[in-house]
Amino acid sequence: MTRSTRQFLLAAAGALFATGALMAQGATPTQKREAHEARRDARQQARIAQGEKSGQLTPREAARMERQQARTDKAEAKAAADGKVTKQEARHINRMQNRDSRHIRRQKHDAQTAK
C-alpha cells in the first residue's frame, strides 16, 4: 500500500468518524466546520491519489501536493490547539484549502505526465 493511499484511507476514516460523531449529537457550528474541513481534506487527498494513480501527477508533483496538504493540516491543528477556532482562523484555513485545491487542479491538467 503506497503512502498516499494509506494517508487517504486514514483521512477518510477520520472524516467518517467525525461525521458519525456529529450525527450522534446536536452539532455546533464549530463541529460542523471541523467536519467540513475533514471531508474536504479527504476529498483533496483522494484527488491527489487518483492523479498519481492515473499518471496525471508526476511523483514530484504529488509529493509537493502532499506537503501543501500537510501544511494546511498543521495550520488546522494549530488553530484548534486552544480549543476554539476563531472565524479569522477558519477563513485562513479555508483560503489555504482553496489554494491547495487550485494547485491540485492545475497540476493534474498540465501537460506533464508520469512516465
Per-residue pLDDT of 70-99, as tens digits, reads: 999 999 999 999 988 899 999 999 999 999
pLDDT (tens digit, 9 = 90+) per residue, 15-38?
666 666 556 667 777 788 788 888
Q: Which three cell numbers stand for residue 53?
A: 494513480
pLDDT score of 3: 73
- Of 24 and 42, more confident: 42
- List b or e across 72-109, with b for residues whose CB sees 16 or more CB atoms inside 10 angstroms: bbeebeebeeeeebeeebbebbeebbeebeebbeebbe
Q: pLDDT tier at 10 (50, 70, 90 boundaries)?
A: low
Q: What is this structure's pTM?
A: 0.71
